């Protein structure tokens, strides 16, 4: 969406290139959502109860889009960091019928972190979250967050477990993959979808899923970390 356009213009990654392949034919309908968007045993209410306040750990605040004011801090907690923001749709990575240069004007055919076979992630298949690239505002790696780390994404009383899969603009926050949005009932269209508010992202420190593309493992690891988070906060 708009924030990803700013990312491309800033030269932080490859500019979008229209891809015309057999797989690139536009398929506007969303992919089938997982059987249960409320994954694991910990409820959205239990998690949200632990992130009511904010102990700010970022040096400043982030915008949700290029044209908005900087109002979103990164908050610290025992065993996690979190923020509350919007969700823009990241469709970057491997070309598919739903994520390509025709369906996404800002498409990039790579992600910051790769599958176990070295290929980029598949945005319409794998739930993943985008973290802001390192800047003077915040350094995610110094906070114990890394590629493949587990994230609990909460929206509309649903919990979806994802992994840290990509990096974005240095001043903007609130973005996740097509698959993440789709599982939470958010419009996953990379050009016009997403939601303007109401999404909570809880990133568990020093966690990892290997291989990164194994969503079932992300759910099992995430559920255990969520239980610990509830107990320790």
Q: How far apart are CA 152 and CA 38, in angstroms?
A: 10
What is the mean predicted confidence (pLDDT) over 29-46?
Answer: 72
Q: Give the up-direction half-sphere exposure of residue 130: CA atoms within 13 A in the CB hemisphere.
A: 33
- E runs forming strands in 35-157: 55-56, 75-77, 80-90, 128-132, 150-155
pLDDT tens sequence across 176-192: 999 999 999 999 999 99
Using alpha carbons, select from 156, 122, 160, 168 the residue that is nearest to residue 1: 168
Under the banding of pLDDT at 50, 70 and 90, the label for residue 173 is very high
pLDDT tens sequence across 139-167: 999 999 999 999 999 999 999 999 999 99
Using alpha carbons, select from 106, 103, 95, 210 the residue that is nearest to residue 163: 210
Mean pLDDT, all residues of the chain: 88
pLDDT tens sequence across 87-140: 999 999 999 999 999 999 999 999 999 999 999 999 999 999 999 999 999 999
Under the banding of pLDDT at 50, 70 and 90, the label for residue 32 is low
% of the chain residues with pLDDT over 90: 83
Using alpha carbons, select from 85, 116, 79, 117 the residue that is nearest to residue 1: 85
pLDDT tens sequence across 198-222: 999 999 999 999 999 999 999 999 9
Residue 13: pLDDT above 80? no
Provide the β-strand partners of residue 63: 172
Largest CA distance in the chain: 50
Q: How far apart are CA 131 and CA 74, in angstroms?
A: 11
Residue 16: pLDDT above 90? no
Q: How far apart are CA 233 and CA 225, in angstroms?
A: 12
């Amino acid at each position: 969406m708009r924030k990803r356009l700013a990312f491309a213009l800033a030269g932080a990654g490859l500019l979008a290139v229209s891809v015309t392949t057999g797989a690139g034919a536009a398929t506007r309908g969303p992919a089938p959502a997982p059987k249960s968007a409320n994954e694991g045993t910990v409820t959205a209410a239990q998690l949200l109860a632990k992130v009511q306040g904010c102990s700010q750990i970022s040096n400043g605040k982030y915008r949700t889009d290029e044209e908005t004011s900087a109002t979103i801090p990164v908050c610290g907690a025992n065993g996690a960091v979190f923020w509350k923001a919007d969700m823009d749709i990241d469709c970057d990575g491997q070309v598919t019928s739903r994520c390509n240069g025709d369906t996404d004007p800002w498409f990039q055919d790579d992600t910051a972190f790769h599958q176990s076979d070295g290929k980029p992630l598949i945005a319409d298949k794998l739930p993943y979250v985008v973290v802001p690239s390192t800047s003077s505002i915040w350094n995610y790696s110094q906070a114990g967050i890394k590629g493949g780390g587990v994230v609990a994404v909460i929206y509309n009383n649903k919990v979806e477990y994802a992994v840290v899969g990509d990096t974005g603009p240095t001043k903007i926050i609130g973005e996740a993959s097509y698959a993440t949005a789709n599982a939470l009932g958010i419009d996953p269209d990379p050009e016009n979808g997403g939601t303007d508010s109401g999404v909570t992202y809880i990133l568990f420190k020093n966690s990892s899923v290997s291989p990164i593309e194994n969503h079932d493992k992300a759910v099992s690891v995430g559920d255990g970390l969520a239980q610990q988070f509830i107990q320790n906060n």
